[in-house]
Amino acid sequence: MADGRDLIYFDDTEAYVSGERTRRLDDPRPLPARFEPRIDADGVEQPPLGPEMRLDPLTGDWIPMASHRMNRTFLPAADACPLCPARPADSGTDYSDGEVPDTDYDVVVFENRFPALMQLPGVGLEDGWAVDGEDLWQARPAAGRCEVVCFSSDHTGSFGGLTPRRVRTIIEAWADRTTELSALPGIEQVFCFENRGKEIGVTLPHPHGQIYAFPFVTPRTQAMLRQAAAYRDRTGGHLLRDVLDAERRAGTRVVLETEHWTAYVPAAARWPVEVHLAPNRDVLDLPGLTEVEREDLALAYLELLRRLDRFFVEPEEAGGAPIPLPYIAGWHQAVVGEGRELGRLHLQVISVLRAPGKLKYLAGVESGMASWISDTTPERIAARLQEVAL
Ligand SMILES: [Zn+2]
Protein backbone atom coordinates (compact mmCIF):
# COMPACT_ATOMS: atom_id res chain seq x y z
CA MET A 1 0.00 0.00 0.00
CA ALA A 2 0.99 3.65 -0.38
CA ASP A 3 2.47 3.82 3.12
CA GLY A 4 4.47 0.59 2.78
CA ARG A 5 2.06 -1.80 4.48
CA ASP A 6 1.40 -5.23 2.97
CA LEU A 7 -1.92 -6.17 1.40
CA ILE A 8 -2.21 -9.88 0.68
CA TYR A 9 -4.81 -11.48 -1.61
CA PHE A 10 -6.29 -14.94 -1.13
CA ASP A 11 -8.42 -15.82 -4.14
CA ASP A 12 -10.98 -18.52 -4.81
CA THR A 13 -12.62 -17.18 -7.98
CA GLU A 14 -11.67 -17.22 -11.61
CA ALA A 15 -9.61 -16.07 -13.32
CA TYR A 16 -7.27 -15.77 -10.34
CA VAL A 17 -7.33 -19.41 -9.25
CA SER A 18 -6.16 -20.66 -12.63
CA GLY A 19 -3.52 -17.94 -12.71
CA GLU A 20 -4.97 -16.45 -15.89
CA ARG A 21 -5.18 -13.12 -14.12
CA THR A 22 -3.08 -11.85 -11.26
CA ARG A 23 -3.75 -9.12 -8.77
CA ARG A 24 -1.96 -5.82 -9.00
CA LEU A 25 -2.50 -3.01 -6.52
CA ASP A 26 -2.11 0.67 -7.38
CA ASP A 27 -2.76 2.59 -4.23
CA PRO A 28 -3.58 6.21 -5.08
CA ARG A 29 -3.81 7.43 -1.50
CA PRO A 30 -1.56 10.24 -0.35
CA LEU A 31 -0.39 8.28 2.69
CA PRO A 32 2.86 9.33 4.34
CA ALA A 33 5.35 6.49 4.76
CA ARG A 34 4.77 5.01 8.20
CA PHE A 35 8.35 5.01 9.32
CA GLU A 36 9.31 8.48 8.16
CA PRO A 37 11.18 10.38 10.84
CA ARG A 38 8.99 12.90 12.65
CA ILE A 39 9.92 16.56 12.79
CA ASP A 40 9.30 17.92 16.27
CA ALA A 41 8.23 21.45 17.25
CA ASP A 42 11.83 22.64 17.18
CA GLY A 43 12.30 21.30 13.65
CA VAL A 44 14.48 18.45 14.89
CA GLU A 45 14.17 15.01 13.30
CA GLN A 46 12.89 12.35 15.73
CA PRO A 47 12.63 8.60 15.12
CA PRO A 48 9.14 7.21 14.39
CA LEU A 49 7.09 6.30 17.43
CA GLY A 50 5.46 2.92 17.87
CA PRO A 51 3.19 1.47 20.53
CA GLU A 52 4.75 0.50 23.85
CA MET A 53 3.85 -2.15 26.42
CA ARG A 54 4.44 -2.20 30.15
CA LEU A 55 4.77 -5.14 32.51
CA ASP A 56 2.30 -5.10 35.40
CA PRO A 57 4.58 -6.01 38.31
CA LEU A 58 1.60 -7.33 40.32
CA THR A 59 0.39 -9.89 37.77
CA GLY A 60 3.25 -10.32 35.32
CA ASP A 61 0.94 -9.33 32.45
CA TRP A 62 2.16 -7.19 29.56
CA ILE A 63 -0.19 -4.29 28.84
CA PRO A 64 0.17 -2.81 25.32
CA MET A 65 -0.55 0.91 25.12
CA ALA A 66 -1.75 2.14 21.78
CA SER A 67 -1.61 5.83 22.59
CA HIS A 68 1.35 6.44 20.30
CA ARG A 69 0.92 9.19 17.75
CA MET A 70 1.23 7.93 14.24
CA ASN A 71 1.00 10.06 11.12
CA ARG A 72 -2.78 10.22 11.17
CA THR A 73 -3.37 12.53 8.24
CA PHE A 74 -5.67 10.43 6.07
CA LEU A 75 -8.98 9.07 7.29
CA PRO A 76 -11.74 7.53 5.18
CA ALA A 77 -14.95 9.53 4.89
CA ALA A 78 -17.27 8.85 7.79
CA ASP A 79 -20.03 7.43 5.60
CA ALA A 80 -17.76 5.14 3.56
CA CYS A 81 -17.00 1.59 4.66
CA PRO A 82 -13.20 1.37 4.71
CA LEU A 83 -13.31 -2.41 4.05
CA CYS A 84 -15.39 -2.28 0.87
CA PRO A 85 -13.46 -2.19 -2.43
CA ALA A 86 -12.57 1.48 -2.72
CA ARG A 87 -12.88 1.62 -6.49
CA PRO A 88 -15.91 -0.42 -7.60
CA ALA A 89 -15.28 -1.65 -11.14
CA ASP A 90 -18.75 -0.83 -12.44
CA SER A 91 -19.19 2.59 -10.87
CA GLY A 92 -16.95 4.55 -13.21
CA THR A 93 -16.31 6.76 -10.21
CA ASP A 94 -13.01 7.86 -8.84
CA TYR A 95 -11.40 6.43 -5.81
CA SER A 96 -13.80 6.66 -2.87
CA ASP A 97 -11.52 6.20 0.15
CA GLY A 98 -11.00 3.05 2.10
CA GLU A 99 -8.44 0.54 3.27
CA VAL A 100 -8.63 -1.73 0.21
CA PRO A 101 -7.69 0.43 -2.76
CA ASP A 102 -8.86 -2.06 -5.37
CA THR A 103 -11.92 -2.74 -7.50
CA ASP A 104 -12.73 -6.10 -5.90
CA TYR A 105 -11.27 -8.96 -3.90
CA ASP A 106 -12.13 -12.38 -2.55
CA VAL A 107 -10.26 -12.38 0.77
CA VAL A 108 -7.64 -9.79 1.69
CA VAL A 109 -5.36 -9.40 4.67
CA PHE A 110 -3.61 -6.17 5.51
CA GLU A 111 -1.81 -4.61 8.44
CA ASN A 112 -3.97 -2.48 10.67
CA ARG A 113 -3.10 1.17 10.05
CA PHE A 114 -3.28 2.18 13.72
CA PRO A 115 -2.24 -1.02 15.48
CA ALA A 116 -1.88 -1.83 19.16
CA LEU A 117 1.19 -3.90 18.27
CA MET A 118 3.74 -2.94 15.62
CA GLN A 119 7.30 -3.73 14.68
CA LEU A 120 9.40 -0.72 13.73
CA PRO A 121 12.51 -1.13 11.60
CA GLY A 122 15.59 -1.40 13.77
CA VAL A 123 13.61 -1.56 17.03
CA GLY A 124 13.38 -4.83 18.95
CA LEU A 125 12.02 -6.12 22.25
CA GLU A 126 15.51 -5.73 23.67
CA ASP A 127 15.17 -1.96 23.35
CA GLY A 128 13.29 -1.75 26.64
CA TRP A 129 13.40 0.88 29.34
CA ALA A 130 12.30 1.52 32.91
CA VAL A 131 9.31 3.86 33.30
CA ASP A 132 10.34 6.95 35.30
CA GLY A 133 13.69 5.26 35.80
CA GLU A 134 12.16 2.77 38.25
CA ASP A 135 13.21 -0.85 37.66
CA LEU A 136 9.84 -2.08 38.94
CA TRP A 137 8.16 -0.73 35.83
CA GLN A 138 9.57 -2.43 32.77
CA ALA A 139 8.53 -1.16 29.35
CA ARG A 140 9.28 -2.43 25.86
CA PRO A 141 8.27 -1.60 22.31
CA ALA A 142 5.01 -3.50 21.64
CA ALA A 143 6.81 -5.15 18.75
CA GLY A 144 4.05 -7.40 17.40
CA ARG A 145 1.74 -7.09 14.47
CA CYS A 146 -2.02 -6.56 13.98
CA GLU A 147 -3.71 -7.56 10.74
CA VAL A 148 -7.24 -7.26 9.39
CA VAL A 149 -8.84 -10.07 7.37
CA CYS A 150 -11.74 -9.15 5.06
CA PHE A 151 -13.83 -12.27 4.50
CA SER A 152 -15.72 -10.94 1.48
CA SER A 153 -15.98 -7.80 -0.63
CA ASP A 154 -19.74 -7.93 0.00
CA HIS A 155 -20.55 -5.39 2.70
CA THR A 156 -23.57 -7.29 4.02
CA GLY A 157 -23.88 -10.73 5.52
CA SER A 158 -21.70 -12.53 8.01
CA PHE A 159 -19.25 -15.40 8.31
CA GLY A 160 -22.05 -17.90 8.86
CA GLY A 161 -23.56 -16.95 5.49
CA LEU A 162 -20.37 -17.57 3.49
CA THR A 163 -20.00 -20.55 1.16
CA PRO A 164 -17.88 -23.53 2.30
CA ARG A 165 -15.47 -22.68 -0.52
CA ARG A 166 -14.96 -19.16 0.85
CA VAL A 167 -14.52 -20.44 4.41
CA ARG A 168 -11.92 -22.83 3.06
CA THR A 169 -10.06 -19.81 1.58
CA ILE A 170 -10.20 -18.02 4.92
CA ILE A 171 -8.77 -21.10 6.67
CA GLU A 172 -5.94 -20.97 4.12
CA ALA A 173 -5.38 -17.29 4.92
CA TRP A 174 -5.31 -17.95 8.69
CA ALA A 175 -2.84 -20.80 8.25
CA ASP A 176 -0.62 -18.77 5.95
CA ARG A 177 -0.59 -15.76 8.27
CA THR A 178 0.09 -17.97 11.30
CA THR A 179 3.17 -19.37 9.57
CA GLU A 180 4.38 -15.97 8.36
CA LEU A 181 3.76 -14.08 11.59
CA SER A 182 5.25 -16.85 13.77
CA ALA A 183 8.50 -16.38 11.86
CA LEU A 184 8.79 -12.67 12.69
CA PRO A 185 11.41 -11.82 15.32
CA GLY A 186 10.15 -12.02 18.89
CA ILE A 187 6.62 -13.27 18.09
CA GLU A 188 5.45 -15.78 20.69
CA GLN A 189 1.82 -16.40 19.78
CA VAL A 190 -0.57 -15.83 16.85
CA PHE A 191 -4.28 -15.31 17.54
CA CYS A 192 -6.81 -15.31 14.66
CA PHE A 193 -10.24 -14.12 15.74
CA GLU A 194 -13.51 -12.56 14.72
CA ASN A 195 -15.81 -10.26 16.65
CA ARG A 196 -19.36 -10.13 15.37
CA GLY A 197 -22.10 -7.74 16.47
CA LYS A 198 -22.34 -4.25 17.88
CA GLU A 199 -22.85 -5.74 21.35
CA ILE A 200 -19.22 -6.90 21.18
CA GLY A 201 -18.13 -3.40 20.20
CA VAL A 202 -17.78 -4.01 16.46
CA THR A 203 -18.02 -0.67 14.71
CA LEU A 204 -17.74 -1.93 11.12
CA PRO A 205 -20.49 -4.33 9.99
CA HIS A 206 -18.43 -5.46 6.98
CA PRO A 207 -17.54 -9.17 7.51
CA HIS A 208 -13.99 -9.17 8.79
CA GLY A 209 -11.73 -10.58 11.46
CA GLN A 210 -8.35 -9.78 12.95
CA ILE A 211 -5.03 -11.45 13.63
CA TYR A 212 -2.77 -10.48 16.51
CA ALA A 213 0.85 -11.60 16.56
CA PHE A 214 1.88 -11.12 20.20
CA PRO A 215 5.47 -10.46 21.34
CA PHE A 216 4.51 -12.19 24.61
CA VAL A 217 2.39 -15.12 25.78
CA THR A 218 -1.10 -13.85 26.68
CA PRO A 219 -2.45 -14.29 30.23
CA ARG A 220 -5.03 -16.91 29.22
CA THR A 221 -2.46 -18.97 27.37
CA GLN A 222 0.00 -18.66 30.24
CA ALA A 223 -2.63 -20.04 32.60
CA MET A 224 -3.40 -22.88 30.17
CA LEU A 225 0.31 -23.73 29.84
CA ARG A 226 0.72 -23.78 33.64
CA GLN A 227 -2.23 -26.14 33.96
CA ALA A 228 -1.04 -28.35 31.09
CA ALA A 229 2.50 -28.58 32.49
CA ALA A 230 1.23 -29.48 35.97
CA TYR A 231 -1.15 -32.05 34.48
CA ARG A 232 1.66 -33.63 32.46
CA ASP A 233 3.87 -33.84 35.55
CA ARG A 234 1.04 -35.39 37.55
CA THR A 235 -0.38 -37.84 35.02
CA GLY A 236 1.96 -37.96 32.04
CA GLY A 237 -1.01 -37.00 29.84
CA HIS A 238 -1.70 -34.12 27.48
CA LEU A 239 -4.32 -31.88 29.09
CA LEU A 240 -6.13 -30.67 25.96
CA ARG A 241 -6.12 -34.15 24.41
CA ASP A 242 -7.53 -35.66 27.57
CA VAL A 243 -10.18 -32.95 27.91
CA LEU A 244 -11.42 -33.70 24.40
CA ASP A 245 -11.42 -37.45 25.08
CA ALA A 246 -13.33 -36.94 28.33
CA GLU A 247 -15.92 -34.72 26.65
CA ARG A 248 -16.39 -37.39 23.95
CA ARG A 249 -16.69 -40.13 26.56
CA ALA A 250 -19.23 -38.18 28.58
CA GLY A 251 -21.08 -37.07 25.46
CA THR A 252 -23.44 -34.83 27.45
CA ARG A 253 -21.99 -31.57 26.19
CA VAL A 254 -20.93 -32.69 22.71
CA VAL A 255 -22.99 -30.73 20.19
CA LEU A 256 -21.40 -31.65 16.85
CA GLU A 257 -19.23 -34.51 15.61
CA THR A 258 -17.76 -34.89 12.15
CA GLU A 259 -15.08 -37.21 10.85
CA HIS A 260 -12.31 -34.84 11.89
CA TRP A 261 -13.83 -32.36 14.38
CA THR A 262 -15.74 -32.31 17.65
CA ALA A 263 -17.65 -29.36 19.12
CA TYR A 264 -18.50 -29.35 22.80
CA VAL A 265 -19.48 -26.97 25.58
CA PRO A 266 -16.63 -27.20 28.10
CA ALA A 267 -17.60 -28.64 31.48
CA ALA A 268 -16.67 -25.40 33.23
CA ALA A 269 -17.87 -22.88 30.61
CA ARG A 270 -18.06 -19.37 32.01
CA TRP A 271 -19.93 -17.39 29.31
CA PRO A 272 -23.73 -17.38 28.74
CA VAL A 273 -22.98 -19.10 25.41
CA GLU A 274 -19.68 -20.90 24.92
CA VAL A 275 -18.62 -23.72 22.63
CA HIS A 276 -15.25 -25.16 21.61
CA LEU A 277 -14.39 -26.84 18.32
CA ALA A 278 -11.32 -29.08 18.26
CA PRO A 279 -9.73 -31.42 15.74
CA ASN A 280 -9.95 -35.13 16.62
CA ARG A 281 -6.30 -35.60 15.71
CA ASP A 282 -3.57 -33.88 17.75
CA VAL A 283 -2.76 -30.69 15.85
CA LEU A 284 -0.72 -27.80 17.23
CA ASP A 285 -1.96 -25.01 15.02
CA LEU A 286 -3.87 -24.14 11.85
CA PRO A 287 -0.88 -24.73 9.53
CA GLY A 288 -0.74 -28.28 10.93
CA LEU A 289 -4.19 -29.21 9.55
CA THR A 290 -4.33 -31.56 6.59
CA GLU A 291 -6.30 -30.85 3.45
CA VAL A 292 -9.23 -33.07 4.48
CA GLU A 293 -9.28 -31.57 7.98
CA ARG A 294 -9.53 -28.09 6.45
CA GLU A 295 -12.35 -29.18 4.13
CA ASP A 296 -14.21 -30.72 7.05
CA LEU A 297 -13.58 -27.67 9.25
CA ALA A 298 -15.23 -25.33 6.73
CA LEU A 299 -18.45 -27.36 6.99
CA ALA A 300 -18.32 -27.93 10.76
CA TYR A 301 -17.62 -24.26 11.51
CA LEU A 302 -20.49 -23.09 9.31
CA GLU A 303 -22.88 -25.55 10.94
CA LEU A 304 -21.81 -24.33 14.38
CA LEU A 305 -22.26 -20.65 13.48
CA ARG A 306 -25.68 -21.30 11.97
CA ARG A 307 -26.78 -23.07 15.14
CA LEU A 308 -25.52 -20.15 17.22
CA ASP A 309 -27.72 -17.86 15.14
CA ARG A 310 -30.72 -19.96 16.20
CA PHE A 311 -29.72 -20.10 19.86
CA PHE A 312 -31.91 -17.19 20.94
CA VAL A 313 -35.22 -16.20 19.38
CA GLU A 314 -37.32 -13.09 19.87
CA PRO A 315 -40.32 -13.55 22.18
CA GLU A 316 -43.47 -14.77 20.38
CA GLU A 317 -45.17 -11.37 20.75
CA ALA A 318 -42.14 -9.80 19.00
CA GLY A 319 -42.39 -12.24 16.08
CA GLY A 320 -40.31 -15.18 17.33
CA ALA A 321 -37.50 -14.56 14.84
CA PRO A 322 -34.00 -15.96 15.49
CA ILE A 323 -31.51 -13.41 16.84
CA PRO A 324 -28.12 -13.14 15.10
CA LEU A 325 -25.78 -13.94 17.98
CA PRO A 326 -23.07 -11.42 18.83
CA TYR A 327 -19.95 -13.50 19.35
CA ILE A 328 -16.19 -13.66 19.64
CA ALA A 329 -14.63 -16.63 17.84
CA GLY A 330 -10.92 -17.10 18.47
CA TRP A 331 -8.35 -19.76 17.59
CA HIS A 332 -6.12 -21.03 20.37
CA GLN A 333 -2.90 -22.25 18.81
CA ALA A 334 0.33 -23.65 20.25
CA VAL A 335 2.82 -20.95 21.20
CA VAL A 336 5.87 -20.41 19.02
CA GLY A 337 8.51 -21.12 21.67
CA GLU A 338 8.71 -22.78 25.08
CA GLY A 339 5.65 -24.87 25.93
CA ARG A 340 4.67 -25.37 22.28
CA GLU A 341 4.18 -29.11 22.79
CA LEU A 342 1.60 -28.39 25.52
CA GLY A 343 -0.69 -26.61 23.07
CA ARG A 344 -3.43 -28.07 20.91
CA LEU A 345 -5.49 -26.25 18.32
CA HIS A 346 -9.04 -25.34 19.27
CA LEU A 347 -11.60 -22.70 18.46
CA GLN A 348 -13.44 -20.97 21.30
CA VAL A 349 -16.71 -19.21 20.50
CA ILE A 350 -18.29 -17.10 23.23
CA SER A 351 -21.17 -14.65 23.48
CA VAL A 352 -22.13 -11.93 25.92
CA LEU A 353 -25.84 -12.31 25.09
CA ARG A 354 -27.58 -14.15 27.93
CA ALA A 355 -31.18 -13.69 26.78
CA PRO A 356 -32.96 -11.71 24.05
CA GLY A 357 -32.11 -8.05 24.70
CA LYS A 358 -30.04 -8.91 27.78
CA LEU A 359 -26.26 -8.62 27.80
CA LYS A 360 -23.92 -10.06 30.34
CA TYR A 361 -21.92 -7.27 31.91
CA LEU A 362 -18.94 -8.21 33.99
CA ALA A 363 -19.98 -8.21 37.63
CA GLY A 364 -17.86 -6.69 40.38
CA VAL A 365 -16.17 -9.98 41.27
CA GLU A 366 -15.53 -10.67 37.60
CA SER A 367 -13.97 -7.29 36.78
CA GLY A 368 -12.37 -6.83 40.17
CA MET A 369 -11.13 -10.32 40.94
CA ALA A 370 -11.27 -12.11 37.55
CA SER A 371 -13.48 -14.62 39.35
CA TRP A 372 -16.28 -15.79 37.10
CA ILE A 373 -19.85 -16.72 37.87
CA SER A 374 -21.88 -18.42 35.16
CA ASP A 375 -25.48 -17.33 34.60
CA THR A 376 -26.39 -20.75 33.22
CA THR A 377 -24.96 -24.27 33.11
CA PRO A 378 -22.80 -25.82 30.39
CA GLU A 379 -25.34 -28.65 30.07
CA ARG A 380 -28.13 -26.16 29.35
CA ILE A 381 -26.02 -24.43 26.67
CA ALA A 382 -25.22 -27.80 25.09
CA ALA A 383 -28.85 -28.93 25.16
CA ARG A 384 -29.89 -25.80 23.30
CA LEU A 385 -27.14 -26.21 20.69
CA GLN A 386 -28.25 -29.82 20.17
CA GLU A 387 -31.89 -28.74 19.94
CA VAL A 388 -31.27 -26.17 17.18
CA ALA A 389 -29.50 -28.66 14.90
CA LEU A 390 -31.44 -28.94 11.65
ZN1 LIG B 1 -18.06 -2.61 3.55
- Residue-wise pLDDT tens digits, 28-37: 877 878 887 7
128 in the same domain as 43: yes
Q: Is 68 a catalytic residue?
A: no
131 in the same domain as 14: yes
Quick check: is 258 in a domain? yes
Quick check: is 35 in a domain? yes
Q: How far is the CA of 315 from the centre of ligand 1 (A)?
A: 31
308 in the same domain as 254: yes
Rounded to an integer, what distance in angstroms lies between the CA atom of residue 296 and that of residue 259? 8
Whether 260 has a binding-site annotation, put simply, is: no
Whether 81 has a binding-site annotation, put simply, is: yes
Residue 93 has pLDDT above 60, yes or no: no
Q: Which of 42-51, 85-94, 336-345 has the highest average model confidence (pLDDT)?
A: 336-345
CB 13 within 8 A of CB 169: no
175 in the same domain as 226: no
User: Residues 6 or more apart from 316 whose CB is under 8 A from it?
Assistant: none
Quick check: is 362 in a domain? yes
Whether 332 has a binding-site annotation, put simply, is: no
State residue 67's pLDDT score.
63
162 in the same domain as 207: yes
Give, as one character, the DSSP assignment of residue 325: P
Residue 92 has pLDDT above 80, yes or no: no
Quick check: is 128 in a domain? yes
76 in the same domain as 179: yes
Rounded to an integer, what distance in angstroms lies between the CA atom of residue 107 and that of residue 173? 8
Whether 84 has a binding-site annotation, put simply, is: yes
State residue 73's pLDDT score.
47
Classify 45 in phi/psi space as left (phi over 0), alpha (psi -120 to 50) or beta.
Answer: beta
166 in the same domain as 253: no
Quick check: is 80 in a domain? yes
Where does a domain end: 162, 194, 216?
216
101 Cα distance to chain centroid: 23
Q: How far is the CA of 329 from the centre of ligand 1 (A)?
A: 20
* Stated pTM of the model: 0.94
Residue 367 has pLDDT above 60, yes or no: yes
Among residues 70, 46, 51, the alpha carbon closest in space to that of 62 is found at 51
| Candidates 208, 238, 276, 346; catalytic one | 208
User: Residues 6 or more apart from 181 whose CB is under 8 A from it?
Assistant: 145, 147, 187, 190, 211, 213
Residue 88 has pLDDT above 80, yes or no: no
Among residues 246, 243, 253, 248, the alpha carbon closest in space to that of 386 is found at 253
Report the run of H or E that residue 368 belongs to, with start and end.
helix 364-369
186 in the same domain as 158: yes
CATH code for the domain in which residue 224 is found: 3.30.428.10
Residue 89 has pLDDT above 80, yes or no: no
- Residue-wise pLDDT tens digits, 212-237: 999 999 999 999 999 999 999 999 99
User: Residues 6 or more apart from 163 whose CB is under 8 A from it?
Assistant: none
Q: What angle do CA 191, 197, 199 make, to 5 degrees?
A: 105
Question: 243, exposed or middle or buried, with CB in 10 Å at 0-12, 13-18, 19+?
Answer: buried
Residue 54 has pLDDT above 80, yes or no: yes
Quick check: is 26 in a domain? yes
Q: How far is the CA of 257 from the centre of ligand 1 (A)?
A: 34
Q: How far is the CA of 172 from the centre of ligand 1 (A)?
A: 22
Q: How far is the CA of 250 from the centre of ligand 1 (A)?
A: 44
State residue 179's pLDDT score.
98
Q: How far is the CA of 82 from the centre of ligand 1 (A)?
A: 6
Where does a domain end: 195, 216, 237?
216
Q: How far is the CA of 115 from the centre of ligand 1 (A)?
A: 20
Q: How far is the CA of 330 from the centre of ligand 1 (A)?
A: 22
Rounded to an integer, what distance in angstroms lies between the CA atom of residue 250 and that of residue 342? 23
Rounded to an integer, what distance in angstroms lies between the CA atom of residue 64 and that of residue 215? 10
CA 140, 120, 173, 281 dihedral sign is negative
- Strand 62-65 with 129-130, pairing: unpaired
User: Residues 6 or more apart from 57 whose CB is under 8 A from it?
Assistant: 136, 137, 138
- Strand 346-351 with 327-332, pairing: antiparallel
Q: How confident is the model at residue 376 (pLDDT cuts 50, 70, 90)?
A: very high
187 in the same domain as 132: yes
Classify 97 in phi/psi space as left (phi over 0), alpha (psi -120 to 50) or beta.
Answer: left
Where does a domain end: 157, 181, 216?
216
109 in the same domain as 212: yes
Quick check: is 51 in a domain? yes
Residues facing residue 278 across a β-bridge: 262
Domain span including residue 270: 220-387
248 in the same domain as 202: no
Counting the structural domains of the chain, the total is 2
- Residue-wise pLDDT tens digits, 138-157: 999 999 999 999 999 999 98
247 in the same domain as 184: no
Quick check: is 1 in a domain? no
